[in-house]
């Protein structure tokens, strides 16, 4: 219990570094914060066996979650995940939530965000990621340099999901959206467009780590840190740390 308290306190300092007010208790076990809305911090953290998904409207991103129906989820740009099972990072589509149409129109693909607000760490991966070194260089010094590194698809390799409906990882787009990714009924990786968030990077905070500012300043947290090269980054958004690797 003492080590868990220390870890939470350390993460709290990282988040307060950028002036954000968010829940500071990471999900426990495989179930995450059962039944909590993303961003309210009131979940029980009970253990479970299924990946978490969306539990309601996302306080972090302001977008309605796809959990609860197909509204807003259809028509999202598609992205093939490659051959299963390695391309799915061990995930399959959850069965404990509400399924919705996803992927290209007319394909009949279904996605599911599960019944909990956060997906846990990928199967067989570390359940927690170490806090990033915020004194190290982030790997970029401008928004254009960030785009050159970040735009594309990323698979989460350690730690719990950062966004509502983020099972597989994240997609950073060139128009500065972060889109969570889930595994569809055919085993492909698909975007959950309804849970996307818009962001910018603020380099004026006066610290080594720039700030990621979501949708008009409603949320500010540490921007991704590329401290181990261009093919991996640490991100503290939810606000527990998670590690990501580039999908090629």
pLDDT above 80 (res 225):
yes
* pLDDT tens figures, 12-65: 334 434 333 333 334 443 333 322 233 323 232 322 323 333 333 333 333 233
What gap in Å lies between CA 54 and CA 58, rounded to an integer? 8
* Predicted TM-score (pTM) of this structure: 0.70
* pLDDT tens figures, 145-191: 999 999 999 999 999 999 999 999 999 999 999 999 999 999 999 99
> Of 116, 110, 2, whose CA–CA distance to 50 is shortest?
116
**DSSP secondary structure, 56-88, as one string:** SS-TTT-SPPSTTSSTTTTTPPB----STTGGG
Domain that holds residue 128: 1-248
- Return the pLDDT at 75: 34
Confidence of residue 206 (pLDDT cuts 50, 70, 90): low
What gap in Å lies between CA 117 and CA 121, rounded to an integer? 13
Number of domains in the chain: 1
For 8, half-sphere exposure in the C-beta direction (CA atoms, 13 angstrom radius) is 13
Query: Which H or E element spans position 15?
Result: helix 2-16
């Amino acid at each position: 219990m003492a080590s868990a308290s220390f870890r939470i306190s350390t993460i709290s300092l990282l988040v307060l570094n950028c002036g954000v007010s968010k829940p500071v208790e990471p999900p426990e076990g495989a179930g995450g914060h059962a039944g909590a809305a993303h961003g309210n911090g009131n979940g029980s953290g009970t253990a479970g066996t299924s990946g978490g998904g969306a539990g309601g409207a996302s306080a972090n991103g302001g977008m309605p979650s796809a959990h609860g129906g197909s509204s807003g989820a259809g028509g999202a740009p598609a992205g093939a995940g490659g051959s299963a099972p390695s391309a799915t990072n061990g995930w399959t589509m959850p069965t404990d939530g509400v399924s919705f149409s996803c992927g290209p129109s007319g394909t009949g693909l279904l996605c599911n965000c599960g019944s909990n607000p956060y997906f846990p760490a990928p199967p067989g991966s570390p359940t927690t990621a170490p806090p990033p070194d915020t004194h190290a260089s982030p790997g970029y010094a401008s928004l254009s340099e960030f785009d050159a590194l970040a735009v594309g698809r990323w698979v989460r390799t350690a730690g719990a999901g950062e966004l509502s409906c983020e099972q597989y990882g994240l997609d950073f787009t060139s128009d500065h959206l972060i889109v969570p990714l889930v595994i569809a009924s055919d085993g492909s990786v698909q975007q959950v467009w309804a849970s996307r968030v818009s962001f910018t990077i603020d380099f004026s905070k006066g610290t080594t780590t720039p700030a990621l500012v979501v949708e008009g300043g409603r949320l500010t947290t540490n921007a991704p840190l590329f401290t181990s090269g261009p093919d991996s980054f640490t991100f503290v958004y939810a606000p527990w740390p998670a590690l990501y690797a580039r999908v090629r």
